[in-house]
Amino acid sequence: MTIHKEGRTLLFILLLVLFAINWLLSYLFPENALLQQIAIGVSIVLYFAVLQFFRNPKVVVELNDKQILAPADGKIVAIEETEETEYLKERRTQISIFMSPINVHVNRLPVGGVVSFYRYHPGRYLVAWHPKSSTENERTTLAVRMASGLEILVRQIAGAVARRIRCYVKEGQPVNQGEEFGFIKFGSRVDVFVPTGAQVRVAVGDRTVAGKTVLAELN
């Protein structure tokens, strides 16, 4: 288990701030041992809560060009046929994964190939399950063209708490299935648009693991 690069600076600053607060309390209230113990306890709980958010476990990916893997840890909140209007311009099955603050927030590519499309959109911060969040919230959309020519689209969506999306790929870049492509801070949603003829292997309410859970299988 390692700490993700997105959290290292924040964790260092937080450690300094908590140390300063506890030192100040001991200086101002040297005889109040109970207050100091409470402050230390709260600081430890807070620090480890933030620390677990930025954990980056090692994932062994079983490559399979017939499978579409989950891009995020979380819970399936929607599976529905819809029109993808931004890039693909066709009917697709949308599978949405909600990431809570306790999930690992590393995002991984559901398929391998070449990044054929990438766009970042600034926007609002509606709750991640709001119907308009996928079109009005801050979001990043990318598509990967597989060796077969089929394209799979993935959309990172910010939520009411998650206000920082990171995406590390660009158009024309070769990528591998299960490879890390981004990070969303403090919970949000990731949508995957798979062909309508694909065999969906998950159901609403299922838990997913990025790079491990099979969302759908291609014919």
Residue 62 located in a structural domain:
no
Residues 49 and 71 in one domain: no
The model's pTM is 0.83
Local structure of 95: helix, strand or coil = strand
Backbone phi and psi for residue 24, each to the nearest 5 degrees, phi listed first: -65, -40
Looking at residue 142, which CATH number applies to its domain? 2.70.70.10
Per-residue confidence (pLDDT) for residue 171, from 0 to 100: 96
Q: What is the mean pLDDT of each run of 10 residues along the chain (219 residues)?
A: 79 91 90 89 88 82 95 94 94 94 89 96 61 66 96 87 77 96 83 96 96 95
Residues 40 and 83 in one domain: no
Residue 113 located in a structural domain:
yes
> Which alpha helices (H) appear in 54-171, and where do they start and end?
133-136
Per-residue confidence (pLDDT) for residue 193, from 0 to 100: 97
Per-residue confidence (pLDDT) for residue 126, from 0 to 100: 57
Q: Tokens 């819970």 label which residue?
A: 75
Backbone phi and psi for residue 4, each to the nearest 5 degrees, phi listed first: -65, 145
Residue 75 located in a structural domain:
yes
Dig out the tokens for 75 from the structure: 């819970």
**Residues spanned by the domain of 30:** 2-56
Residues 20 and 76 in one domain: no
Q: Report the length, in residues, of the chain.
A: 219
Residue 12 located in a structural domain:
yes
Predicted confidence (pLDDT) per residue in 63-83, tens digit: 999 999 999 999 999 999 999
> How far apart are alpha carbons 191 and 198 in whole angstroms?
16
Candidate list 96, 133, 134, 188, residue with the active-site label: 188
**Interhelix angle for 33-53 vs 5-28, to 10°?**
180
Residues 52 and 71 in one domain: no
State the total domains in the chain.
2
Predicted confidence (pLDDT) per residue in 52-63, tens digit: 778 888 888 999
Q: Tokens 């969040």 label which residue?
A: 133
Dig out the tokens for 45 from the structure: 């709980």
Dig out the tokens for 204 from the structure: 């609403």
Q: What is the distance between the terminal CA atoms of the chain, rounded to a whole angstrom?
A: 36
What ranges make up the beta strands (E) of 4-150?
55-56, 67-69, 74-84, 90-99, 106-108, 113-121, 139-145
Dig out the tokens for 114 from the structure: 């070449």
Residues 121 and 162 in one domain: yes
Residue 116 located in a structural domain:
yes
Backbone phi and psi for residue 127, each to the nearest 5 degrees, phi listed first: -60, 145
Q: Is the dihedral of CA 113, 72, 68, 88 positive or negative?
A: negative
Closest-CA residue to 119 (of 158, 97, 160, 87): 87
Q: Tokens 């949308």 label which residue?
A: 94
Annotation says 116 is catalytic? no
Burial class (CB in 10 A: 0-12, 13-18, 19+), 56: middle
| Helix, strand, coil % over all residues of the chain, rounded to 5 | 20, 35, 40
